[in-house]
Structures are given as structure tokens and as C-alpha cells.
Amino acid sequence: MTEKELEQHIAEAVKDLDLEDREIPAIDLYLDQILSLVADKNKGAADRYRERTLTKTMINNYSKDGLISPITGKKYTHDHIIEMLLVYAMKNTLSISEIKRILHGARNDCSFTGADLTAAYRRFLGVKESNRARTGEVVLSLLHEDGLDVQNDRDFFVALLDILSLSAYLKAVAQEMLEARYTDPDFAERERREREKAEKREQAERDKAEKREQTEREREEKRKEKEEKKRIFIDSTET
């Protein structure tokens, strides 16, 4: 592969298209209408991106996992669609639990409103456009600095590993950042459940202890009653 061919492949690799917030109708939409909007936008993208379109199953799973705010009825608002697009933008890099942590953190730790998420999405598309150009520059600079010639089969193999390692480190940086800033909603939920379990166990132990004490009191009362009857019987026979 020549460097010119590599540049062409890089251009194809970053040829995705994003639905901008201004392209979203001001009215609430049914799910099929949203999927059509995204699919139409993707028609001009590279093959790899056309194959990654949104589906009903994906959106339903996003809702179940709490990535999208609860909806009323069957229509989705502009804010819901922005949330979908944010999830869609992150899902090929981060896990569902990590995406949930980011969106949950934005809403709950930082009090983001729907307008805040829309503004963030708009700014994100701006920097993403810059990243399309940066990607080629970074890759070519990386390979040049590391002395790798993609026309050489052995260098080409190492070049792939080189690019993948950079990608992995960048992903790790993002994960470190989100873990340092945003609360893990699943961890918080697990902690709550553990507290409830511990409280139930403690209550059960208290109930058992109280029952044992009650049983002992009843036994003691019966013993005393029996002794009292015995004493009365003895007294009556002596008289």
C-alpha cells in the first residue's frame, strides 16, 4: 500500500455523516420517523457507517437501560432524539454501562437540561468535523515518527498495531476521565440494594432475637406458674 492509497483509505474511514439538531423537526416523532431520518442522512456515508444504522431494538434497549429519558405515549421529543444520537455516537467505543454513566452524570451530577444536551451535541459535531481532518494528520505523523513504511509488509503489520495501541490509549483516557467525574448509577443502585439487604438481615436477626426472648419469657412464666401451683398443692395437703 502506498502512502497515497493510505490517505484514501483514511478519508473513507472517517466518512460518516451526523444528523444535526437543526435537521430534527420541531414536532414529536414516532420511532419509525426517527429511524428514517437517520437512515436518509447515512445514505451519503461510507459503507461501514451505512451498515451501523439505528434500529427499533437498539432504541428499545436504550430505553430499558435508562440511556434515554422516559417517554410519554409513543412519540419521542427533540430531547429524546438528541439522547439517541449521543448514544449512537458513543456506542462503538464505550460499553452501554459507560454511556449510561456519562449521560446519567451529565443529567444528575451536572444538572444538564435537554437544552444543555442539545448545545453539547451541536458543539460535539463541530469538533468531530475537525477530528476527521486531524485523524489523517495524526496517523501519517505517527507512522513517520515511528519509522514505519506501509509499503513494507512487515512495517504495515506493525503500523496496524501502532494505530490500534493509540486508539486503545485514547479510549482508556476517556474512561479514566468519565470515572473520575461522573457517578456510576449502577454502582449506586447496587449499593442501595446492598443496604436494603443488610437492613433486612439486621431486622431479621432482631426479630429472631426478640422471638427467642419472648419464648424464654413464656417458658419462665410457665415454670413459675407450675412452681406456684405445686406450692399451693403442697400447702393444701399439709393443712
pLDDT of res. 131: 94
49 vs 190: which has the higher pLDDT: 49
Binned at pLDDT 50, 70 and 90, residue 206 comes out as confident
Residue 235 has pLDDT above 80, yes or no: no
193 vs 101: which has the higher pLDDT: 101
Q: Average pLDDT, whole number, for the chain? A: 90
Binned at pLDDT 50, 70 and 90, residue 215 comes out as confident
Q: Where are the alpha helices (DSSP H) in the chain?
A: 3-13, 31-42, 47-50, 56-64, 78-90, 96-104, 114-145, 153-181, 185-238
Packing angle between helix 153-181 and helix 96-104, nearest 10 degrees?
A: 40
The C-alpha angle 61, 62, 66, rounded to 5 degrees, equals 115
For the stretch 52-66, pLDDT in tens is: 888 899 998 998 888
pLDDT of res. 239: 59
Short-list 112, 117, 169, CA closest to 142? 169
For the stretch 136-186, pLDDT in tens is: 999 999 999 999 999 999 999 999 999 999 999 999 999 999 999 998 887
Residue with cell 481532518: 133
